Amino acid sequence: MGLAEQVRRKLRITYSDPDTDERVDDIMEQADADLRGLLGIDDDGFSFEQPGTEQVLFLAYCFYEWNDALDDFGANYATKIAQCRDRWLVKQYVEEEQAASQL
């Protein structure tokens, strides 16, 4: 199942019309950009289609945005966001250290 299908399932959207499809696409695009920044994801090859905490956060972000409750997302998922961000920061640090040691 693709990410768009997972988002539609999370939002319980069982129909398709141009306005709804466009709103879902806009929300997904915004979620991708916001979460990459929030989590410190600098890997252009990363996809939220991969199962894991990042995908959970992506789907939750879309759900909260769909329901005009994005203000609550940060508060309700602060722990998961912090854990995920820490993981990405460690990954980035390791990559930088490896690159520096090869010089």
In the predicted model, what is the mean pLDDT of residues 80-86? 96
In angstroms, the CA 15 to CA 64 distance is 20
Name the pLDDT band for 101 (thresholds 50, 70, 90). confident
Of 102, 98, 20, 35, give the one whose Cα is nearest residue 66: 20
Using DSSP, state whether 33 is helix, strand or coil.
Answer: helix
User: Which pLDDT score is estimated for 96?
Assistant: 86
User: Which pLDDT score is estimated for 38?
Assistant: 96
Of 1, 5, 55, 67, give the one whose Cα is nearest residue 31: 55
User: Which pLDDT score is estimated for 97?
Assistant: 87
Report how many domains make up the chain: 1
Query: 11-68, pLDDT tens digit by residue?
Result: 999 999 999 999 999 999 999 999 999 999 988 899 999 999 999 999 999 999 999 9
pLDDT of 82 higher than 90? yes
In angstroms, the CA 79 to CA 85 distance is 10
pTM across the whole model: 0.91
Query: 88-99, pLDDT tens digit by residue?
Result: 999 989 988 888
Residue ranges making up the domain that contains 79: 3-101
pLDDT of 69 higher than 90? yes
